[in-house]
């Protein structure tokens, strides 16, 4: 089954089409990296796929669930890690995770939260307010938050933004550890990093797909050259 | 991961508990609203100092009290949603499969509780400083009814408007510009009922009951509209 399927997906703001006629299918268990220049529509596409924005036209399905018809069912399938932590700074790490665990209806929220805090290595700081955490630590709690309901698809919206190299390393290790058979869709500006992590690559420019291909069908050199030619030279 | 579909009430309770916990930890809204109410009382003191004997404070008291409540509420309402915007917390909640009206209801409830908490301090202070020169009417305790009805309506409408305006550039100004015209019928009815209760003149019920009924009706209609439209507002 495909984890993500879009058919002529469009999102317009007034007359401007931020996402324009986007069609692609991503098999379950894949890791899709979405690249593109600023304003290409990467984040808008992710917002539409995560039900945070309504599409203007076209269709989108997550694990066969239509976003327009069953948005709540689709929401249960996804987790989101963004450059914003989506954590309440004045609540502790544990309180934040308990909040989301209860909202999602996790059967044993206390045990799940404890397990996740162990997994991200923050059990010792569970009673500290998130406001007191470094950016890297906050992003680790954010990973735990996104996984609290064990989603089948995880969206990553520029997750490395503001992280120092050490925090990036820890973040990559954690993503590797929690990957399992989940599907990941990541928006990134970093071509080399995004390409190294993905199984599929998608380049977006002016809201339209320039390239969408499995990584094993294209070498990084060719891909980066194609990216430069299409995006950098304004062909797209 | 075993999940149990949480009831709407349990999600409401979880969201409300989150708002209360945050506020009791930071006292951000209560402190700012409380100090603002106190400052308004001080300004009233200066404004009325030279005319104290020439002012019919009994018939002006209701209006002055509601000016204090309206502007104090505006301050709190603007703050209440700003906290949700910080770190994208609102989006985190909107990613959860829940009836979005529950988010509105929980936020409106917390705003009602915070506004009432400030009124519990501000109203006796207002009475102490400005109304003790006149003998209290036996109907004075009835001001609780318009205060309660007005607070519920203002918190509901204000919660909706602060959600709408939180994404605008001048959120605070926009909130005031939309809030005051929209609550005007409610404000007018509550000022009339409050003044009737303070004055306690003959036929006071004529000026108390009908405005109060109208205010209740206004609350019901506006809260229902907010409840129904909230999903659209947060998705748009």
Three-state SS string across chain B, please?
CCECCCCHHHHHHHHHHHHHHHHHHHCHHHHHHHHHHHHHHHHHHHHHHCCHHHCCHHHHHHHHHHHHHHHHHHHHHHHHHHHHHHHHHHHHHHCCCCCHHHHHHHHHHHHHHHHHHHHHHHHHHHHHHHCCCCCCCCCHHHHHHHHHHHHHHHHHHHHHHHHHHCCCCCHHHHHHHHHHHHHHHHHHHHHHHHHHHHHCCCCHHHHHHHHHHHHHHHHHHHHHHHHHHHHHHHHC
CB < 8 Å from A in window 95-114 of B: 95-98
Nearest to B87 among A50, A76, A87 (CB): A87
- Judged by a CB distance cut-off of 8 A, whether residue B31 touches chain A is no
- Which of B95, B101, B102, B236 to mutate against chain A (most A CBs within 10 Å)? B95
Higher pLDDT, B4 or B153: B153
For B208-228, how does the pLDDT look when each residue is reduced to its tens digit (9 = 90+)?
A: 999 999 999 999 999 999 999
The closest alpha carbon to B110, from B147, B89, B79, belongs to: B79
**Half-sphere CA count of A46, side-chain side, radius 13 A:** 28
Cα separation, A199 vs A218, in Å, equals 11
* pLDDT confidence of residue A236: 44
DSSP-H helix ranges across A9-134: 42-49, 71-75, 93-104, 109-119
Tokens describing residue A180: 């399992």
For B3-49, how does the pLDDT look when each residue is reduced to its tens digit (9 = 90+)?
A: 778 889 999 999 999 999 999 999 989 999 999 999 999 999 888 87
CATH code 3.30.1360.70 for A1-77+152-160+182-236: no
Within 8 A of B83 by CB-CB distance, chain A residues are 88
Does the pLDDT of residue B185 top 70, yes or no? yes
Q: How many CB atoms lie within 10 A of CB A167?
A: 18
For B87-122, how does the pLDDT look when each residue is reduced to its tens digit (9 = 90+)?
A: 899 999 999 999 999 999 999 999 999 999 999 999
- Judged by a CB distance cut-off of 8 A, whether residue B27 touches chain A is no
Separate counts of helices (H) and strands (E) for chain A: 8, 10
For chain B, what is the mean pLDDT?
91
Contact A103 B88 (CB under 8 A): no
Contact B95 A50 (CB under 8 A): yes
- Judged by a CB distance cut-off of 8 A, whether residue B88 touches chain A is yes
Per-residue pLDDT of chain A (236 residues; tens, 9 = 90+): 899 999 999 999 988 999 999 999 999 999 999 998 888 899 999 999 999 999 999 999 999 999 999 999 999 999 999 989 999 999 999 999 999 999 999 999 999 999 999 988 999 999 999 999 998 999 999 999 999 999 999 999 988 887 888 888 888 888 888 888 899 999 988 888 888 889 999 999 889 998 898 988 888 888 888 788 777 655 44
C-beta separation of A108 from A73 below 8 A? no
With CA atoms as reference, the chain A residue closest to B16 would be: A99
Within 8 A of A95 by CB-CB distance, chain B residues are 18, 21
Does the pLDDT of residue B82 top 90, yes or no? no
C-beta separation of B105 from B227 below 8 A? yes
C-beta separation of A85 from A139 below 8 A? yes
Query: Count of A–B CB contacts within 8 Å?
Result: 92
- Judged by a CB distance cut-off of 8 A, whether residue B49 touches chain A is no
Q: How confident is residue B52, by pLDDT bands cut at 50, 70 and 90?
A: low
What is the residue whose two structure tokens read 């509420």? B73
Q: Is the dihedral of CA B185, B187, B191, B197 positive or negative?
A: positive
* pLDDT confidence of residue A232: 63
Q: Å from B230 to nearest chain A CA? A: 14
- Judged by a CB distance cut-off of 8 A, whether residue B92 touches chain A is yes
- Judged by a CB distance cut-off of 8 A, whether residue B151 touches chain A is no
Whether the predicted interface score ipTM is above 0.85: yes
Contact B95 A54 (CB under 8 A): no
The segment(s) of chain A belonging to CATH 3.40.50.300 are: 1-77+152-160+182-236
Largest CA distance in chain B: 72
- Judged by a CB distance cut-off of 8 A, whether residue B3 touches chain A is yes
């Amino acid at each position: 089954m495909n984890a993500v399927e879009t058919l002529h997906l469009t999102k317009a703001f007034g007359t401007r089409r931020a996402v324009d006629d986007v069609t692609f299918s991503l098999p379950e268990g894949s890791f899709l990296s979405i690249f593109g220049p600023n304003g290409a529509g990467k984040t808008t596409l992710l917002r539409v796929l995560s039900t945070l924005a309504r599409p203007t036209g076209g269709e989108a399905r997550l694990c066969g669930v239509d976003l327009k018809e069953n948005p709540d069912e689709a929401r249960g399938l996804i987790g989101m890690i963004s450059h914003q932590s989506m954590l309440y700074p004045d609540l502790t790490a544990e309180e934040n995770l308990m909040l989301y665990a209860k909202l999602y209806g996790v059967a044993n929220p206390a045990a799940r939260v404890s397990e996740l805090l162990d997994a991200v290595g923050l059990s010792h700081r569970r009673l500290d307010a998130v406001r007191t955490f470094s950016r890297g630590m906050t992003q680790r709690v954010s990973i735990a938050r996104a996984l609290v309901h064990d989603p089948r698809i995880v969206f990553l919206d520029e997750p490395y933004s503001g992280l120092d190299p050490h925090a990036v390393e820890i973040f990559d290790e954690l993503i590797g550890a929690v990957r399992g058979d989940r599907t990941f869709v990541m928006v990134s500006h970093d071509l080399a990093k995004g390409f190294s992590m993905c199984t599929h690559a998608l380049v977006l420019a002016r809201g339209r797909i320039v390239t969408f291909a499995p990584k094993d069908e294209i070498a990084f050199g060719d891909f980066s050259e194609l990216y430069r030619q299409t995006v950098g030279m304004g062909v797209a | 991961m075993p999940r149990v579909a949480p009831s709407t009430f349990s999600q409401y309770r979880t969201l409300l508990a989150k708002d209360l916990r945050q506020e009791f930890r930071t006292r951000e809204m209560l402190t700012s609203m409380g100090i603002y109410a106190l400052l308004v009382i001080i300004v009233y003191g200066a404004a009325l100092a030279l005319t104290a004997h020439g002012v019919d404070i009994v018939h002006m008291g209701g209006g002055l009290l509601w000016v204090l409540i309206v502007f104090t509420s505006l301050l709190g309402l603007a703050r209440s949603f700003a906290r949700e915007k910080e770190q994208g917390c609102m989006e985190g909640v909107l990613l959860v499969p829940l009836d979005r009206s529950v988010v509105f209801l929980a936020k409106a409830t917390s705003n009602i509780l915070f506004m009432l908490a400030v009124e519990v301090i501000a109203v006796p202070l207002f009475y102490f400083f400005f109304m003790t020169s006149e003998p209290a009417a036996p109907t004075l305790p009835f001001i609780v009814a318009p205060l309660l009805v007005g607070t519920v309506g203002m918190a509901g409408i204000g919660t909706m408007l602060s959600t709408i305006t939180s994404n605008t550039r001048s959120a605070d100004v926009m909130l005031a510009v939309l809030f005051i015209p929209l609550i005007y019928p409610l404000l007018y009815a509550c000022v009339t009922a409050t003044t009737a209760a303070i004055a306690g003149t003959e036929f006071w019920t004529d000026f108390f009951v009908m405005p109060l009924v109208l205010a209740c009706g206004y609350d019901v209609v506006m809260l229902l509209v907010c409840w129904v439209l909230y999903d659209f507002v947060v998705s748009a």
